[in-house]
Amino acid sequence: MTRPTASSASASVANGDSAHTDRFAREHLPPPEQWPELRFDLPELQYPPRLNCVAELFDGALAGGAGERVAVRGEHLSWTYAQLLEQIDRIAHVLRGPLGLEAGNRVLLRGANNPMMAACVLAVLKAGCIAVPTMPLLRARELGAIAGKAEINAVLCADGLRAEMEAVDLPAAVRAKTLWFGGADGTLEALMAQQPASFDAVDTAADDVCLISFTSGTTGIPKGTMHFHRDVMAICDCFPRSVLASQRSDVFIGTPPLAFTFGLGGLLLFPLRVGATAVLLEKLTPETLLKAIEQYRATVCFTAPTFYRQMAPLADKYDIGSLLKTVSAGEALPLATRESWRQATGLAMIDGIGATELLHIFISAAGEQIRPGATGKPVPGYQACILDYDGNPVGPGVIGRLAVKGPTGCRYLADERQRDYVLNGWNLTGDAYEMDADGYFYYRSRTDDMIISAGYNIAGPEVEDALLRHPAVAECGVIGRADEERGQIVEAHVVLKPGHEASPELTAQLQEFVKGQIAPYKYPRAIRYLTALPRTETGKLQRFKLRTE
C-alpha cells in the first residue's frame, strides 16, 4: 500500500506515522488541496504528533485526582473514572483480541445514551479503531448505507436496537463480528469478563482518523465526516474552555444522542476533559429532563431550542436551582425562546452554532458577552467571516455565506460534496449570516432557505420568531411556497397550544400580529395548521417536508 498523500493540508498538520495497519480512512480522505485551512492559533491547540485522545482524556483526569470521582451516571448505574476506564479497557481488549480487529478498522456503534454506549465509543478510539456512531432511530436501509460507505468491519449494538440492526444487509464477515450489549445475555459483556482489566492505548498519530460521523442533514444522502484524535482534543479545548468555562464540579446533562457530535462533545468528551460528571439518560422529554436536572443536581444542560421552549413553562414545577449554564445548538435560537427561558429560570442562554463537519461549536457567547439576536462571536481558536456569492468577504450589515476556519474542518469520506463545503480554505456551513460592526454574527437562515418574495429577501426564522410571541403558538416553521405572481410567498406552518383552535379568524389575527412586529411585507400570506412539526432526531426542523406537503 502506498503512503498517503493527504497527510498535510497545511504546515501545521502533524506528520507522525500512522498507527493504522488498515489504511481505508487515510486513503479516502479528500485530496489535500480540497481541505480547509487548519489553524492552531492558541497555545492549548499545540498537540504532539502522537496522540490517542482517550488516553489523553483519562491521563489528564486521573492525574488531576479524578479516579474516585463519578465519571458517568446512567439511570441504573454510576461509574467512577477508574471504573469507566476499566470498562473501556476490557472492551478494547475484546475488539483487538477475540474480535480480531486491527488498527484503522471501522466499528459501527448503536445505542441510546447510557454509560455502556459511552464506554464502547471510547474503547473503539483507544483501541486505534474508528468509531462510526449511528442515531438510535435510524432504520435498516439508512444503516446499510452508512455501513456500506464506511466499509465497517464490526458492530457493537445495544440489545434494545437489535431487531433493526439484524435487518441490515451486512457481509457475513461483519455479521460474525457483531456483539450485543445491555441485554440479558450480552455477548459483549460475556467477552469483557474474560479480558484483562487494563489496556495500553494504541499509539496513534494525532492525525489518525478516530471518528466517522455521519451528518444528520435534513436533505440528501448522509455524508461521513472524518475526524482525527487531535480534533477530539481541539473541540474540548475550544468552546468548553473559553465560552462555557466548564469545571470539574460540573454535572453535564442533556438530550443530543452520543451519535450526534453535539451530544458526543457536550455530554461525554467535555465532562471527561475537566474531570466532571456526565449524566447519560435515554428517551428524555421536556418533563423528564427537568426532573433529571433536579434529581442529579445538573449544572450544565445541552439541548435544542425547541426543548428549552417546551421546558420554560414547566420549569417552576421543579427545583432546577443547580443549573448554572444552558447551551442551545442544532438550530437557530429564536429570541422569543431566549426570553421565555430567561423569564422562567433567570438563565442567559448560551447559543452556539456547530456543525458535524467542524465537530462542535465555533461561534457562541456566554454571560456578559451575549448579544440577544446574535449567535455570538467566533470561539477563540476559530475565525469567521461573511462571503458573498463570488467568495469575496463582505462588511457589517450585509447578509452572505458564513465561512469558518479553525483547528477542525470538513473532510468528507469519499464525497464530491467536499467541493461545495470548502472554498479557498474556508468551511462554508450553508448558513446565511450577517455581521455587525462589533464582530457579532447573526443567523438569518440556511442559504437555500432564504425566501424571495416579490423581490424581497425574507428569512423564515425571523417570521417564526414573530409568530412564537403570539400566545396561541406552540411551534412554527416558515417556508417559501412557489407562487406565480410573487415567485414565492411566505407560508407558516403552525402548531397551536392546547386550548386554541384553527380558524380563519385566528389566521387573520396571526397575520396582523406579525405585521405589528416586523416589516409588514414579511407576514405569512398563507398559514397552515399542523399537530406537530416534522423534525430530525437531532431536533432540526425538516423544512423540505413542509415544502412538499
Helix or strand or coil: residue 143?
helix
Task: Considering only the stretches 9-17, 99-107, 348-356, 508-516, report the one whose residues sit in contact with ligand 3UK under the rule CB under 6 A.
Answer: 348-356
Q: Which one of 355, 379, 385, 399 is in contact with ligand 3UK (CB under 6 A)?
A: 355
What cell numbers appear for 437 in the block? Answer: 460592526
Give the integer Cα–Cα distance in Å for 181 and 29.
31
What cell numbers appear for 308 in the block? Answer: 428549552
Task: Considering only the stretches 64-72, 178-186, 278-286, 326-334, report the one whose residues sit in contact with ligand 3UK under the rule CB under 6 A.
Answer: 326-334
- CB nearer to ligand 3UK: give 104 or 334: 334
Q: Which one of 93, 360, 377, 481 is in contact with ligand 3UK (CB under 6 A)?
A: 360
- CB nearer to ligand 3UK: give 127 or 300: 300
The verdict on 352 binding ligand 3UK (CB under 6 A) reads yes
**CB of 359 within 8 A of CB of 261?**
yes
Q: Which residues pair with 443 in a beta bridge?
A: 433
What cell numbers appear for 299 in the block? Answer: 449544572
Q: Which one of 246, 356, 418, 511 is in contact with ligand 3UK (CB under 6 A)?
A: 356
Distances from the Cα of 263 to the Cα of 271, 303, 327, 371, 469, angstroms: 11, 9, 11, 25, 29
Give the integer Cα–Cα distance in Å for 90 and 197.
6
Q: How far is the CB of 155 from ligand 3UK (least distance, A)?
A: 23
Give the integer Cα–Cα distance in Å for 115 and 302.
17
Q: How far is the CB of 437 from ligand 3UK (least distance, A)?
A: 21
Per-residue x/- marks for ligand 3UK, 410-449, CB under 6 A?
-------------------xxx-----------x--x---
- CB nearer to ligand 3UK: give 67 or 430: 430
Give the integer Cα–Cα distance in Å for 392 and 509.
43
Q: Which of these, 296, 234, 304, 223, lies nearest to 269 by C-alpha position?
A: 234
- CB nearer to ligand 3UK: give 69 or 342: 342
- CB nearer to ligand 3UK: give 30 or 240: 240
Question: Interaction with ligand 3UK in 521-540: which residues (CB under 6 A)?
Answer: 538
Q: φ, ψ for residue 174 (rounded to 5)? A: -75, -40
The verdict on 270 binding ligand 3UK (CB under 6 A) reads no
- CB nearer to ligand 3UK: give 388 or 448: 448
- CB nearer to ligand 3UK: give 198 or 219: 219
Give the integer Cα–Cα distance in Å for 133 and 96.
19
Give the integer Cα–Cα distance in Å for 86 and 123.
10
Task: Considering only the stretches 74-82, 148-156, 328-336, 414-422, report the one whose residues sit in contact with ligand 3UK under the rule CB under 6 A.
Answer: 328-336
What residue is closest to ligand 3UK based on CB?
354
Per-residue x/- marks for ligand 3UK, 103-142, CB under 6 A?
----------------------------------------
The verdict on 330 binding ligand 3UK (CB under 6 A) reads yes
Task: Considering only the stretches 133-141, 143-151, 329-337, 338-346, report the one whose residues sit in contact with ligand 3UK under the rule CB under 6 A.
Answer: 329-337
The verdict on 329 binding ligand 3UK (CB under 6 A) reads yes
Helix or strand or coil: residue 164?
helix
Task: Considering only the stretches 83-91, 97-105, 272-280, 327-335, report the one whose residues sit in contact with ligand 3UK under the rule CB under 6 A.
Answer: 327-335
Give the integer Cα–Cα distance in Å for 534 and 532.
7
Question: Interaction with ligand 3UK in 249-268: which residues (CB under 6 A)?
Answer: 261-262
Burial string for 368-386 (b: 16+ CB within 10 Å, else e) reads eebeebbbbbbbbbbebbb
**CB of 239 within 8 A of CB of 361?**
yes
Place of cell 448579544: 371
Q: Which one of 331, 415, 462, 491 is in contact with ligand 3UK (CB under 6 A)?
A: 331
The verdict on 373 binding ligand 3UK (CB under 6 A) reads no
Give the integer Cα–Cα distance in Å for 165 and 451.
40
Q: Which one of 57, 85, 157, 332 is in contact with ligand 3UK (CB under 6 A)?
A: 332
Q: Which helix (H) or strand (E) holds 2?
A: none
DSSP per-residue codes, 379-441: PTT-EEEEE-TTS-B--TT--EEEEEEBS----BSS-TTHHHHEETTEEEEEEEEEE-TTS-E
Question: Interaction with ligand 3UK in 443-502: which residues (CB under 6 A)?
Answer: 443, 446
Task: Considering only the stretches 189-197, 353-361, 479-487, 517-525, report the one whose residues sit in contact with ligand 3UK under the rule CB under 6 A.
Answer: 353-361
Per-residue x/- marks for ligand 3UK, 196-235, CB under 6 A?
-------------------xx-------------------
Burial string for 3-16 (b: 16+ CB within 10 Å, else e) reads ebebbebeeebbeb
**Given the rule CB under 6 A, which residues bind ligand 3UK?**
215-216, 261-262, 329-333, 351-356, 360-361, 375, 429-431, 443, 446, 538
